Amino acid sequence: MLGLKRPRVALLNIGVEDMKGTESLREAAARLRDADLPMAFEGFIEGDKIGAGEIDVIVTDGFTGNVALKTAEGTARLVSGLLRKALTQSIWTRAGYFLARGGLRALRAHLDPNNHNGAVFLGLNGIVVKSHGGANAAGMAAAIGLAIELLADDITRRIEADLNALGAAGAQPDVSVAG
C-alpha cells in the first residue's frame, strides 16, 4: 500500500521511550522490532508527530485513533477559522489573501478529510473500510477506492503471511484467513 516497498511504521503511544505505554503496547513493539517483516518499524510515536510525515503508517486501537483523528480535525478547523479571520481584518490582509489564495486553496484541499477518507479495520477475515460520518460523495468515493486498492493488493493474505511470520518468531498460533 502507499506505493512503498518498506513503509515506516510506528505505534501511537504516550511517549517514544521503550518503558512508556501499556504492557501490550510495549510487548507489541518488542515483537515488531525483532520481526522480519516488509516494513521499517520505527518504535513509538506521540500524538504531536502524527502529521509530521516522519511515519507512513501509525498503528493504534480504534478508541485512541478516533480521539487523535477528531483532535486533528478540530485543530484544522480552528486554524482555518483563525486564518480566515486574520485575512479579512483589513484591506491589507484581504490583499494578502488575494495574493495567497492559490496556496490557501491547496492547503484547504490537503486538510479536507474527504480527500483522505477511510479507516482500515485490521484483524478481520476480510476488508472493512470505515468512512467518516461527515463524508461527502468525494469522501465516500475515496473510501471505496481504498477498499478496491486493498482488494487488488490482496492485503488480507499479505497480513496473514506477515502474522504467521511474526508468530513463527514468537510462538504465536497460526493465523488463517477465510477465503
Q: Alpha helix locations (H) across 1-136?
A: 23-34, 62-86, 91-111
Grade residue 126 by pLDDT with cuts at 50, 70 and 90: confident
Average pLDDT over residues 60-77: 86
More confident residue, 90 or 73: 90
pLDDT score for 1: 63
pLDDT at residue 13 above 90? Answer: yes
At 1, which amino acid appears? M
More confident residue, 60 or 173: 60
pLDDT at residue 27 above 90? Answer: yes
Query: Does pTM top 0.85 for this prediction?
Result: no
pLDDT score for 10: 96
CA torsion angle 51 53 54 58 (round to 10): 60
pLDDT score for 170: 60
Which cell numbers hold the place of 121?
Answer: 479495520
pLDDT score for 169: 62
User: How many other CB atoms are found less than 10 A from the CB of residue 89?
Assistant: 9
Phi/psi of residue 155, each to 5°? -60, -35
